[in-house]
Amino acid sequence: MGGLIGASGLGGTSPASAAAPHHGPRPEDFHGHRQLLVPELLLLPEGPVRDRAVLVSGGTFRAVGPAEALIAAHRDLEPVRLDGHLLMPGFVDAHHHLTQSFGKAQSFGQPSEIFKTVWEPLEHALDEESAYVSAKLAALEALRGGFTTVADAGTRAPVDVAAIAKGTEEAGIRCVLSKIVSDGTGGPAHLERWDGHPLVHPSLAIAVPEDAPAGTLKRTAALCTEAGAVLQIHVNEHLASVERSLKSVGRRPVEYLHHIGALGPHTLGAHATLLTPTEMRLLADSGAAISYNPVASAWKGNGVAHATMLAALGVRFGMGTDGTRGDGFRLIDAGETAQRLAYGLGSGDSVCGAGRMWLDHATTHSADAVGLGKVTGEIAAGKAADYLVVDLDVPELTPSYDLRWELVRLANRDQIAAVVVAGRLRLWHGRPTDWDAQALIARAAKLGPQVVERAGLQRVEPVYES
Ligand SMILES: [Zn+2]
């Protein structure tokens, strides 16, 4: 894969080699309505494969097949050879809060259940402009981390969610955009407003079951089922919320949602870190999905979702950042590590899903969990061309024996050469190709602290005895 051996046959001395044309991928390779891409390796559902090509047209994968046959069938296209690179699906963040990006470092060192002390005041202090900048900043960070889709779990900011859509659209990321409907109004209008949008997919949210009466929860779930959208709701994340649920309705959150008829294939529950075996069974039987958020557990949780158990029981789950950090490779690494420390070590499970489980659950299964299983999440004909081009010629991945596990444990976002959403190049080596990221970062650096100041966050500042 390296350049030196391959170049020796060209007969050039050093100066001639230096003047030789550059054969690595270039941003212009990804421009235009149609491309025939021939990567060194293509990550398909069955694993990484060689000698395959993909035909992208109009933002969609039109064909995936043997490189030779596709090149022969499309003589009008110059094949784009991505030697030394992997073409893989973009990561799908199944749980994000795009309007919390100004305060993410404010959560460090805080006890659990900080939504009351940090997130609610922070979001309430946002206006249209700062909500837009926050969302666009989060979208940029997510794209840099290899996410091509993010599911926003619903903002509490007193703004029209169009401010969030503006940020994600301008950055170019696909977004499952929620509207909080705990008061029982606005759901149908929101679902209709974004119906058929190429990059914004509507969803409804109720932050936690205790926020809405049973009738509203049930009606919202029914609306989502009818519209093919997901109902996003935080469930069984913290001990305090599980206990509040037991005290107020006599059931744990997942049991309660099932009891009132709000748990089904269109429910996307976030976290689910504190599940009884009965609740795991309810999730499996109802077809509900959850978002496994390992970094959120480490930063502010009371537990780690038993993802390997959920997988064994057939519970659908994706993986989410919860707005912690927008880095896909670090998310899957954390997913494996958290699972290993919380459950694998205790049971002698040295495999813990291997690399494949975490890659699959952060891509195709995450797309399924957020209701976009037919749209994105894998390299397949008919799916959106949401993909990453990843440099494999790095010491970390050399030599390679099991690429999927290596991607989980060893890969880094600095290897992502290109981030493409709906066939359009959005980032080239971490930078947008058609808008000024530095201006946005400067704006956020100024605006963020002003919002935090206005919010009056109630941080716990422990006294450290030396
Ligand atoms: Zn959340």
CA of 154 to the centre of ligand 1 (A): 9
CA of 96 to the centre of ligand 1 (A): 6
C-alpha Rg value of the chain to the nearest Å: 23
Identify the pLDDT of residue 16. Answer: 41
Strands 387-391 and 80-89: antiparallel
Residue 13 pLDDT > 90, yes or no?
Answer: no
Per-residue pLDDT averaged across 286-307, rounded? 96
pLDDT band at 9 (very low <50, low <70, confident <90, very high): very low
Residue 207 pLDDT > 90, yes or no?
Answer: yes
- Both tokens assigned to 23: 């054969």
CA of 181 to the centre of ligand 1 (A): 16
Q: Which residues surround ligand 1, an ion (CB under 5 A)?
A: 270, 322
CA of 109 to the centre of ligand 1 (A): 17
pLDDT digits (tens, 9 = 90+) for 430-460: 999 999 999 999 999 999 999 999 998 888 8
Per-residue pLDDT averaged across 82-101, rounded? 98
pLDDT band at 411 (very low <50, low <70, confident <90, very high): very high
pLDDT band at 105 (very low <50, low <70, confident <90, very high): confident
For residues 412 and 54, give the distance between their C-alpha atoms in angstroms, rounded to a whole number.
24
What does pLDDT average to over the chain? 93
CA of 349 to the centre of ligand 1 (A): 29
CA of 342 to the centre of ligand 1 (A): 21
CB 117 within 8 A of CB 300: no
pLDDT band at 116 (very low <50, low <70, confident <90, very high): confident
CA of 269 to the centre of ligand 1 (A): 10
According to the 3-state scheme, what is the secondary structure of the chain?
A: CCHHHHHHCCCCCHHHHHHCCCCCCCHHHHCCCEEEEEEEEEEECCEEECCEEEEEECCEEEEEEEHHHHHHHCCCCCCEEEEEEEEEECEEEEEECHHHHHHHHHHCCCCCCCHHHHHHHHHHCCCHHHHHHHHHHHHHHHHHCCEEEEEECCCCCCCCCHHHHHHHHHHCCEEEEEEECCCCCCHHHHHHHCCCCCCEEEEEECCCHHHCCHHHHHHHHHHHHHHCCCEEEEECCCHHHHHHHHHHHCCCHHHHHHHCCCCCCCEEEEECCCCCHHHHHHHHHHCCEEEECHHHHHHHCCCCCCHHHHHHHCCEEEECCCCCCCCHHHHHHHHHHHHHHHHHHHHCCCCCCHHHHHHHHHCHHHHHHCCCCCCCCCCCCCCECCEEEEECCCHHHCCCCCHHHHHHHCCCHHHEEEEEECCEEEEECCEECCCCHHHHHHHHHHHHHHHHHHHCCCCCCCCCCC
Strand partners, 419: 388, 427
Residue 57 main-chain phi, psi, to 5 deg? -145, 130
Number of neighbouring beta carbons within 10 Å of residue 69: 12
CA of 361 to the centre of ligand 1 (A): 18
Q: Is the dihedral of CA 45, 49, 51, 57 positive or negative?
A: positive
pLDDT band at 104 (very low <50, low <70, confident <90, very high): confident
pLDDT digits (tens, 9 = 90+) for 122-155: 999 999 999 999 999 999 999 999 999 999 999 9
CA of 234 to the centre of ligand 1 (A): 6
CA of 285 to the centre of ligand 1 (A): 24
Identify the pLDDT of residue 325. Answer: 96
CB 147 within 8 A of CB 92: yes
Residue 253 main-chain phi, psi, to 5 deg? -55, -50
Cis preceding linkage at 399, omega within 30: yes
Identify the pLDDT of residue 23. Answer: 62
CA of 316 to the centre of ligand 1 (A): 18
CA of 270 to the centre of ligand 1 (A): 6
Among the residue ranges 1-5, 91-95, 316-320, 453-457, the one predicted with the least confidence is 1-5
CA of 2 to the centre of ligand 1 (A): 43
CA of 252 to the centre of ligand 1 (A): 18
Q: Which of 279, 311, 305 is nearest to 292 (CA)?
A: 305
Identify the pLDDT of residue 115. Answer: 81
Q: Is the dihedral of CA 169, 173, 175, 180 positive or negative?
A: negative
CA of 397 to the centre of ligand 1 (A): 33
Among the residue ranges 42-56, 244-258, 372-386, 447-461, the one predicted with the least confidence is 447-461
Per-residue pLDDT averaged across 271-283, rounded? 98
pLDDT digits (tens, 9 = 90+) for 345-357: 999 999 999 999 9
Among the residue ranges 11-25, 53-67, 348-362, the one predicted with the least confidence is 11-25
Identify the pLDDT of residue 293. Answer: 98
CA of 95 to the centre of ligand 1 (A): 6
pLDDT digits (tens, 9 = 90+) for 365-397: 999 999 999 999 999 999 999 999 999 999 999
Residue 112 pLDDT > 90, yes or no?
Answer: no
Strands 289-292 and 316-319: parallel
CA of 187 to the centre of ligand 1 (A): 20
CA of 115 to the centre of ligand 1 (A): 9
Residue 15 pLDDT > 80, yes or no?
Answer: no
CB 406 within 8 A of CB 43: no
Q: Which residues of 350-380 are buried (b: 16+ CB within 10 A; e: fewer)?
A: eebbebbbbbbbbbbbbbbbbbbbebbbbbe
CA of 275 to the centre of ligand 1 (A): 17
Identify the pLDDT of residue 193. Answer: 98
CA of 214 to the centre of ligand 1 (A): 21
Residue 118 pLDDT > 60, yes or no?
Answer: yes
Identify the pLDDT of residue 463. Answer: 78
pLDDT band at 22 (very low <50, low <70, confident <90, very high): low
Per-residue pLDDT averaged across 55-83, rounded? 97
CA of 189 to the centre of ligand 1 (A): 24
CA of 302 to the centre of ligand 1 (A): 14
CA of 87 to the centre of ligand 1 (A): 30
CA of 34 to the centre of ligand 1 (A): 38
CA of 437 to the centre of ligand 1 (A): 26
Identify the pLDDT of residue 465. Answer: 77
Residue 421 CB partners (closer than 8 Å, separation 6+): 90, 143, 148, 172, 173, 174, 199, 384, 386
CA of 431 to the centre of ligand 1 (A): 27
CA of 151 to the centre of ligand 1 (A): 10
- Both tokens assigned to 175: 């977004």
Q: What percent of the chain has pLDDT over 90?
A: 88
CA of 345 to the centre of ligand 1 (A): 28
CA of 167 to the centre of ligand 1 (A): 19
CA of 448 to the centre of ligand 1 (A): 20
CA of 254 to the centre of ligand 1 (A): 16
Per-residue pLDDT averaged across 197-223, rounded? 97
Domains delineated in the chain: 91-369 (3.20.20.140)
pLDDT digits (tens, 9 = 90+) for 149-181: 999 999 999 999 999 999 999 999 999 999 999
CA of 324 to the centre of ligand 1 (A): 10
Residue 227 main-chain phi, psi, to 5 deg? -90, -5
pLDDT digits (tens, 9 = 90+) for 316-369: 999 999 999 999 999 999 999 999 999 999 999 999 999 999 999 999 999 999
pLDDT band at 400 (very low <50, low <70, confident <90, very high): very high
Identify the pLDDT of residue 264. Answer: 98
Q: What percent of the chain has pLDDT over 70?
A: 95
